[in-house]
Amino acid sequence: MSREYSHKNLLLTSTTRAFGSVQRYIQGPGELKNVFAYGRKYGDRFLFIVDSGVIDMIRRQVEVIEDRAGCTCVFHSFFGECCQENVDLLAKVARESGCNVVLGVGGGKVLDTVKLTADAVDLPRIIVPTSASSDAPAADWAAVYDINGVHLGGVPTTRCTELVLVDSTIIARAPARLFAAGIADALVTWYEAEANERAFTPNYIGKGYARSLAGMAIAKECHDVLIRDGKIAYEAVKSKLLTPAVENIIEANILLSGLGFMNTGCAGAHGIHNGISEIEEGKQFLHGEKVAFGLLGEMVLENAPREKLYEVMAFLDDLDLPITMEQFNIACSDENLEIIVDHVVYKNALIHREPTMISPELVRDAIVAANEFGHRYLSEKKG
């Protein structure tokens, strides 16, 4: 194990605590129409960097806004990974556009890329998610991949996002699969917060500090809202309905989870996700879907009570989320496990935030056991 990726080198060095946050969060139906009214305080020429899959829809909605508060805008389509090559490309676009506000619209990868782009050109940023598929919108942090989609690590941004603007009508009309993936990504927030608290590891604010009471409270509230409203909200979104439960889960998936993980820390669930991203078949699945299985592996690693493990599996299964590796089309073979475990243990630090000694053998056995528990649950469910 390299010195960088060991628990010893992740330990807190002081009792100083810290809390960080985006500057402003606004969520509600139809709020995209107010983008210029809200954004005018940051600038008057907006570079819209939009996920290629939704750019036509967003352009239509933005271009018909009659009162732009004296603002103009330029559109640029984005497709690909949050990688250095794309950050460099978009920074060049931002400089040449003459814009003074960078605005990202879409899913996690485009939003993370926009955060780093705004850092690179030192401009205010506005984040507009089109799904509640992850906690990326409200996190001053970016998950960085190589150009082929292999996860490299997390990078803190140098500035706090000026505004996260969430149009819940758009979110409710996005594919329900994205909504479910966001619930999984948000669900792990509390479990990883507890792991970091027990392990005495730092959060992601600045150089890393002890968790504040506010950070832990947000992570816990995120979990409780998801357990209470997650299933009923998922059913509503499958019918493209916007209900109070859906609004609650949007806030949990985006705001509570984003602030929760930034102020408490990630751990084993995201570490296992990173390992799965090494397998070609795993790249075809959503971040939250891989994190869902990662949570089961973390729970096995932490020796969680079996009844609690089954409760989590039942919750994930009700949301049509994967609880076995085979549901990712990944065989639980020696060859695949070697690739996954090597990445989890030696290529990222997250597994070393767990409150237990880590070895390749332990991680491998936890993944295999989680997979077997998942198959057993599905078998018992069939009766």
Query: Of 151, 223, 273, 343, which is the active-site residue?
Result: 273
Say whether pLDDT at 8 is over 90.
no
Tell me: domain 25-173, CATH 3.40.50.1580, correct? no
Q: Hey, what are 56's tokens?
A: 């036509």
- Gap between the Cα atoms of 30 and 167, Å rounded: 5
For residue range 224-282, what is the model confidence (pLDDT) as tens digits?
999 999 999 999 999 999 999 999 999 999 999 999 999 999 999 999 999 998 899 98
Query: Of 112, 135, 167, 185, which is the active-site residue?
Result: 185
Say whether pLDDT at 3 is over 70.
no
For residue range 194-219, what is the model confidence (pLDDT) as tens digits?
999 999 999 999 999 999 999 999 99
- Tell me if residue 151 is catalytic: no
- Tell me if residue 270 is catalytic: yes
Query: Of 7, 151, 223, 270, which is the active-site residue?
Result: 270
Q: Same topology for domains 8-16+175-382 and 25-173, yes or no?
A: no
Contact 350, 270 (CB under 8 A): yes
Calculate what percentage of the chain has a pLDDT beyond 70. Answer: 99
Name the residue ranges covered by the structural domains of the chain: 8-16+175-382, 25-173
List, in sequence order, the alpha helices (H) in the chain: 35-39, 55-63, 84-97, 108-121, 168-173, 176-199, 213-238, 244-251, 257-264, 268-276, 287-301, 306-318, 334-346, 360-382
Contact 151, 291 (CB under 8 A): no
- Tell me if residue 185 is catalytic: yes
Query: Of 7, 287, 343, 352, which is the active-site residue?
Result: 287
- Tell me if residue 287 is catalytic: yes
For the domain made up of 8-16+175-382, give the CATH fold: Dehydroquinate synthase-like, alpha domain (1.20.1090)
